[in-house]
Amino acid sequence: MNQDNFNMEIRKYLKKIGITSQREITEAVNQSISEGKLDGSETLKASAKIMIHDIDFELEINGEISLD
1-41 confidence digits (pLDDT tens): 999 999 999 999 999 999 999 999 999 999 999 999 999 99
Domain of 30, in residue numbers: 3-66
Predicted pLDDT at 22:
98
| Beta carbons of 48 and 18 less than 8 angstroms apart | no
pTM score: 0.87
User: Rounded to whole angstroms, how far apart are CA atoms 1 and 6?
Assistant: 8
Domain count, the chain: 1
**Residue 58 β-bridge partners:** 51
Predicted pLDDT at 10:
97
